[in-house]
Amino acid sequence: MDEPVSLWRMAPSVYLPALLYGIGQGAIAPVVAITARELGASVAVASLVVAAAGLGQVLGDIPAGALTSRIGERRAMLLAVGLVSCALAACLVVPTVWGLALAIVVTGLASSVWGLARQAYLSDAIPIQLRARALSTLGGVARIGTFIGPFLGAGAMRFLGTDGAYWVHLAAAGLAAMVLLGLPDVGGVRRTGRTGLAGPSTREVIRDHLPVLRTLGMGALLVGAIRASRQVVIPLWALHIGLDAETTSLIFGLSGAVDMALFYPAGSVMDRFGRKWVAIPSMTVLGLAHLLLPLTHSLMPFTAVALLMGIGNGLGAGVIMTLGADASPPVGRAQFLGAFRLCADTGVAAGPFLIAAVTGLSGLGPAVVVMGLTGWGAAAAMSRWIPPHPQHEPTHQ
């Protein structure tokens, strides 16, 4: 008789690979711009190289859904590891900035395949009563990985220079692949999406669920934009009020630590009381923090607002993945999740560009206010379009 599914039983085969992959992503995050500058890029071009990872994710979301549906989650993740390994090897040897940018785009493609495949598995395998906790924990361990990664990357760079960070990602991705190959996925789970019949095409899935993608998907886009904004406005406002790089990094790290601490409580609240109880407060607090940021002109108020941003972001840990899983059909789940993730990732990619556009026209303060209002718009969208708390797996096609 199969044992009941629990998050503890899933840790080695589900969450450990996510942690390892997150460590790799965190290791290279601070050094991509540095590598671009070493290859002769200007500051503006280096910023575009960093943004190339987000572009890769946006380009990869729809194909990742189709690929995962066709070959299965485990093979898709192993393919993602192979893809990111090739891209990281290219980062170590390419002699031009644009070669580096192309390699970073490929890391984004690999990240899209990896993330969607793991989300599709959990959405399919976990009972509805545990879904939010399972997906929030998935997002949480990835955040822990990206928090640890820069420290491991810094240690490797003491001996290998900038290349050390890329080697850390290569090693972490390799270890994640070994875990995937060496440990079976959790047994005794529902696999509602595996019917043995040919599934619908990606186009059919998107067409059939376009009303959800137009409404709840737009809310996900706004959530992605305000979340991406947090990572941009904290360092920019710190520079604006004259804080040095070391202080800024410390404050950013403290904000991230608060963010990480809230993923399991957020999932628990969603499972017990409903998705709105997390989505609306998260976006309201994150929007409020943005509106308060232009009022800070010294270290302590700025730190308080940065911590408030961490709380707001942490409150919403896993909410987009959970909403996507709730709305996804049992047949064609991966294709739907690819389309839904495209909405959120488009917001993530668009947020920094919106900040840049408003800053160029009116200054940084108005740009931060615009993003705060975007957060409140996201809260309104979540209030309007999140369906009632699901009590069982939907049977829509």
User: Do the domain assignments include residue 6?
Assistant: yes
Q: What's the token pair of residue 10?
A: 């899933």
Q: Which of 185, 220, 251 is the last residue of a domain?
A: 185
Q: Which residue among 185, 216, 231 closes a domain?
A: 185
Establish if 394 belongs to a structural domain: no
Expressed as residue numbers, the domain containing 118 is 1-185
| CA nearest neighbour of 115 among 62, 77, 66, 67 | 77
- Split into its structural domains, the chain has a count of 2
Question: Where is average pLDDT lowest: 54-63, 193-202, 266-275, 323-332?
Answer: 193-202
- pLDDT tier at 391 (50, 70, 90 boundaries)? low
pLDDT at residue 195 greater than cutoff 50: no
Q: Please report the pLDDT score of residue 196 as a whole number.
A: 42
Whether the predicted pLDDT of 293 surpasses 90: yes
Residue range 207-232: mean pLDDT, rounded:
91
Same domain, 27 and 100: yes
Q: 170 and 288 share a domain?
A: no
| Nearest CA-CA partner of 324 in 315, 316, 311, 333 | 333
pLDDT at residue 167 is higher than 80: yes
- Among 185, 213, 236, the domain-final residue is 185
Residue partners of 145: CB distance under 8 A and separation at least 6: 18, 19, 20, 21, 22, 23, 24, 25, 26, 172
**Does 220 share its domain with 364?**
yes
Residue 351 has pLDDT above 90, yes or no: no
Q: Assess whether 159 and 277 both reside in one domain.
A: no
Whether 128 maps to a domain, the answer reads yes
Residues in the chain: 397
- pLDDT > 80? residue 392: no
Q: Is the pLDDT assigned to residue 262 strictly greater than 60?
A: yes
Q: How many CB atoms lie within 10 A of CB 160?
A: 15
Task: Reply yes or no on whether the pLDDT at 190 is more than 70.
Answer: no
As a whole-number percent, the residues of the chain with pLDDT over 70 amount to 90
Residue 170: pLDDT band by 50, 70, 90 thresholds?
very high
Q: Are residues 1 and 38 located together in one domain of the fold?
A: yes
Do 106 and 175 lie in one domain? The reply is yes
What is the reported pLDDT for 151? 85
What CATH number is given to the structural domain containing 114? 1.20.1250.20
Q: What is the pLDDT of residue 1?
A: 39
**Whether pLDDT at 188 is above 80:** no
The answer to which of 168-182, 210-224, 242-256 has the lowest mean pLDDT is 242-256
pLDDT band, residue 252 (cuts 50/70/90): confident
For residues 127 and 7, the answer to whether their CB atoms sit within 8 Å is no
Same domain, yes or no: 151 and 291 = no
* Residue 28 domain-assigned (yes or no): yes
The DSSP symbol for 294 reads: G
Helices (H), the chain: 7-10, 16-28, 32-38, 43-71, 73-93, 97-125, 131-160, 163-182, 202-208, 210-240, 245-261, 263-273, 276-292, 299-315, 319-327, 333-362, 364-385
Chain mean pLDDT for the chain: 86
Q: Is the pLDDT of residue 80 over 70?
A: yes
Q: Which residue has the higher pLDDT, 38 or 196?
A: 38
174 and 212 belong to one structural domain: no
Q: Could you tell me the pLDDT band of residue 4, with boundaries at 50, 70 and 90?
A: low
Name the residue among 164, 246, 189, 225 with its Cα closest to residue 372. Answer: 225
Average pLDDT over residues 8-18: 77
**Which tokens hold the place of 372?**
């705060």
- pLDDT given at position 193: 45
Q: Quick: pLDDT tens for 102-135.
A: 999 999 999 999 989 888 888 877 888 888 898 9
What average pLDDT does range 181-203 have in this prediction?
A: 59
Claim to verify: residue 308 and residue 253 sit in the same structural domain: yes
Any domain includes 192: no
User: Are 74 and 181 in a shared domain?
Assistant: yes
Task: Report pLDDT for 236.
Answer: 84
User: What is the spatial distance between Cα 142 and Cα 118, in angstroms, rounded to a whole number?
Assistant: 12
pLDDT band, very low/low/confident/very high, at 189 (cuts 50, 70, 90): very low
| 218 assigned to some structural domain | yes
Q: Does pLDDT of 10 surpass 70?
A: no
Residues 135 and 181 both lie in one domain? yes
If asked whether residues 274 and 129 sit together in one domain, one would say no
Q: What is the mean pLDDT of residues 20-48?
A: 83
Does residue 92 belong to any structural domain of this protein? yes
- In a domain, residue 131? The reply is yes
Question: Half-sphere exposure of 210 toward its Cβ, with a 13 Å CA cutoff?
Answer: 4
Confidence of residue 397 (pLDDT cuts 50, 70, 90): very low
